[in-house]
Amino acid sequence: MDDDAKWWGYNYPKNLDKQELPKIGVAQTVPGMRVFFDEKGEFYFNNVRVNGILTEDILTSCYLTGILNSPPINFVFKRIAKPKDNDFYEANKQFIAPLPIPNANETEKKLVAELAKELQSLHTERRDKIAMIDKRLESSQVQKDKRKPSWIWVEADNKNWYETKLESIHTKIFKGAKLSISLDKGELQFFINGNLIFEIFLEEKESYFIYSQWKQKIRKINVTEKYNAKSLVTDLLDLVKTENSAVKDQVTALDKEIDGLDKTISVKEKEINGVVYKLYGLTDEEIKLVSEL
């Protein structure tokens, strides 16, 4: 910023005194509410891609972070927010302001706030480990290892057979479908919503590295109405290989660490959701409705 040449100065300097305050950040183009607490005022928001919310104190900020990330809020948000392509929504002020925040006493606020802070820390650690895996899979010490569909199905060389197979898989893929894999003694199995789609048998040493790559892909795949079987198979066949054992060992180790974090996050999310459901006074049927969204 140059005070002597104001024509290129920041348009809204009045906002600068707010940026370094503790604040809640709300991502704007999202598949559901995505909220975090910037306790140290480390981030500057532009209210275009990330909106900011100031509160009276840190306890309130942490409490709101927990509430705004909860299933009941997400349920309401998806019904009032502006829909965009690929099942994303616009989370700007006009859709955030009407969201219902339950009244809570000091004890309830502290409980939600503590769990919200813990979950943010866990999710941050998870994000960082995912980035560490990406760094290794995209490094100069790996090379592309694009496989053909016949690596999974020998019959895939027959175009008609392969198209029929894709159609069969596509009937099992729908918006929000859960993708998962398992590995046991070199047997790699792929599932959609718990249904076995295919299995391949690999050398045990090779299997761990491919297993970790597939799990990394699954973490990033958003199964929308436009996502189809061909997209899935293309993603799974887009692999890398390396002779560097350190890269393989680090990727598989980080993958296991993420698995451990996922289990802890699941436990903590159930705990905080249980508290939030009580604050809203939801019945069992209502809990089922909002949690399945």
pLDDT of 2: 58
pLDDT, tens digit, 9 for 90 and up, residues 277-290:
999 999 999 999 99
User: For 236-245, how does the pLDDT look when each residue is reduced to its tens digit (9 = 90+)?
Assistant: 999 999 999 9
Query: What is the rounded distance in angstroms from the CA atom of residue 48 to the CA atom of residue 54?
Result: 16
Statement: the pTM of the whole predicted model exceeds 0.95: no
Tell how strand 187-192 and strand 179-184 pair up. Answer: antiparallel
Contact call for residues 74 and 27 (beta carbons, < 8 A): no
Residues 6+ apart with CB under 8 A from 20: 41
**pLDDT for residue 75:** 96
Residue-averaged pLDDT of the chain: 92
Residues 6+ apart with CB under 8 A from 205: none
The residue type of 262 is D
Beta strands in 99-186, from DSSP E residues, in sequence order: 143-146, 179-184
Q: 167-219: per-residue pLDDT in tens?
A: 999 999 988 899 999 999 999 999 999 999 999 999 988 999 999 999 999 99
- Single out the residue of 215, 207, 152 nearest to residue 184, CA to CA: 207
Contacts of 167 (CB under 8 A, 6+ apart): 229
Indicate if the pLDDT at residue 13 is higher than 70. Answer: no
Write the secondary structure of 24-74 as one string of H (helix), E (strand) and C (coil): EEEECEECCCCEEEECCCCCCCCCCCEEEECCCCHHHHHHHHHHHCCHHHH
For residue 26, pLDDT over 60 is answered with yes
CA angle 174, 188, 170 (to 5 degrees): 20
Q: What H or E segment, with its residue span, contains residue 201?
A: strand 195-201
